[in-house]
Chains A and B, each alone.
Chain A
Amino acid sequence: MKGIQFQQLRDAGDPAELAAAHSQAGADEVVLLDISATHEKRATLADTVRRTARQLFIPFTVGGGIRSLDDAIAVFTAGADKISINSAALTDPSLITRIAERYGSQAVMVAIDAKRTNGEMRFEAYTGGGRNPSGRDAVAWAREAEERGAGEILLTSMDRDGTGAGFDCELTRAVSEALNIPVIASGGGGDTQTFIDVFQGGRADAALAASIFHFGLRNLADLKQELQNAGIPVRLPC
């Protein structure tokens, strides 16, 4: 499923088949976000995770609806390499530490959905798939997540999500420079220049794109080749 600015969700296909196809096409990593899980209060479907993991020999992250250590254990047992937590971490930050202590920090990705504000905070973290403002400054929250044991931050700009208009480089840079763990920029990936901008200006350690690949708008191998030509280290051949 893939949306635009967190609304207008449309079905992009079976996750297991999509993951296998992206892997074949040279993706470096697959992230499965069960984005409606928290909203509908249902657990991540262990069966989907299991089916997807079976076909993958690249890193596989699962997020959405993980609210407890037990939820995390179920997802790891089904074959995930990392879990991504968002709302639950904001509600109970100690969850980050408890999962990291059991599986290691490298297995804990904290996802932050951030939106620009007009107030004192420049970027505010949202919960519930972008439904609820948390009142937390996104940069300060990212720093706390790192201190509590997160190994990576998946940072999504709600303003840019699904637009293809370019990543929010200011947001990405503010978070990346404040942290010592890798930051993955998400939301707004479009033409090659948008990726160059987020790696150079935004100081992103990695970039995540969904729509442009799901709907066949971009070829991953071409994009990687163009990034390498621009002097950005990428895995080639993919």
Chain B
Amino acid sequence: MIAVVNYRAGNVTSVKKALDRLGAESVVTSDPEVLAHADKIILPGVGHFSSTAVLEQTGLRTAMLRRIEQGVPFLGVCVGMQWMFDSSAEAPGTRGLGLLSGTCVRFPESVKSPHVGWNSLACREDSRLLRGIPSGAFVYFTHSFRAPLVKATVASCEYGGEFSAAVEQENIFGVQFHPEKSGPIGLKLLENFCGLKC
């Protein structure tokens, strides 16, 4: 059972719909108890980094960290991926999960922001999440802040400089783009995640 974490500002419906299409058993929940029994966890996200503060207040942060430590595959989407880092300049008072080190920052003024639309990926070949997705594949982005390139970066994207489009480290995964909105490529990525055995 995949738990899709529900908090006020999420693209929860779209993610759930994509999982339904793939035939993956999933439940939308904001109950830490449900997370404690989930085989996989997806943290969706659209909106402001500060909207993740509610995860801390409701005990969901602690529940997610515990499951991650136990080896359960975790996927953060968009703000959900940014939240895996230490922090974001968008909401300096809100702490991230801190699973990856670094701070998310705004795009430089040389490009229009938000970065919205389809853009192409440069993928690392050893990624389990991106299996079958070649470099050059287009996916759908919509964001005003971006995560730095780190050791866990498995796909980068170029827009006013390079940033992390996908990260992967043991059982934690994150994508800045929206797989639930990226057509067949996005569904392939979610299928890869659903099929992971960690």
Contact = CB atoms under 8 A, between A and B. Distances in A.
Interface string B12-45: 0110011001000000000000000000000000
Nearest to B116: A182
A151 B117 CA distance: 12
A102 interface: yes
B112 A28 contact: no
A174 interface: no
Contacts of B113: 180-181
A205 B119 CA distance: 13
Contacts of B180: 57
B133 interface: no
B171 interface: no
B181 interface: yes
Interface in B136-185: 138, 140, 142-144, 178, 180-184
Given A28-B117, A57-B21, A107 B186 contact: no
Contacts of A79: 13-14, 17
B114 A181 contact: yes
Contacts of A23: 183
Contact of B140 (A58, A77, A102, A181): A58
B141 to A, nearest CB: 9
Interface string A160-181: 0000000000000000000111
Q: How large is the interface on B (under 10, 10 to 19, 20 to 34, 35 or more residues)?
A: 20 to 34
Contact of A28 (B118, B144, B184, B186): B118
Given A57-B21, A79-B14, A206-B117, A104 B112 contact: no
B114 A58 contact: no
A193 to B, nearest CB: 22
B157 to A, nearest CB: 13
Contacts of A152: 114, 116
A59 interface: yes
Interface in B76-130: 109, 112-114, 116-118
B145 to A, nearest CB: 11
Given A57-B187, A59-B140, A81 B14 contact: yes
23 contacts: A28-B118, A53-B13, A57-B21, A57-B181, A57-B183, A57-B187, A59-B140, A59-B142, A77-B13, A79-B13, A79-B17, A81-B14, A81-B46, A102-B9, A103-B47, A104-B9, A104-B46, A105-B144, A180-B109, A182-B114, A182-B117, A205-B112, A235-B138
A218 interface: no
B116 A81 contact: no
A176 to B, nearest CB: 9
B13 to A, nearest CB: 5
Q: Is the interface of A mostly helix, strand, loop or mixed?
A: loop
A23 B142 CA distance: 19
B131 interface: no
B81 to A, nearest CB: 15
Contacts of B13: 53, 77, 79
Nearest to A24: B183
Given A28-B118, A104-B47, 18 more contacts: A53-B14, A54-B17, A57-B17, A57-B183, A58-B182, A59-B181, A77-B13, A81-B11, A81-B181, A101-B48, A102-B47, A104-B9, A106-B114, A106-B143, A107-B47, A180-B109, A181-B114, A205-B112
Given A54-B17, A235-B138, A105 B114 contact: yes
A151 B116 contact: yes
Contacts of A58: 140, 181-183
Nearest to B20: A54
5 tightest CB-CB pairs across the interface, nearest first? A104-B47, A235-B138, A106-B142, A235-B118, A106-B114
Contacts of B186: 57
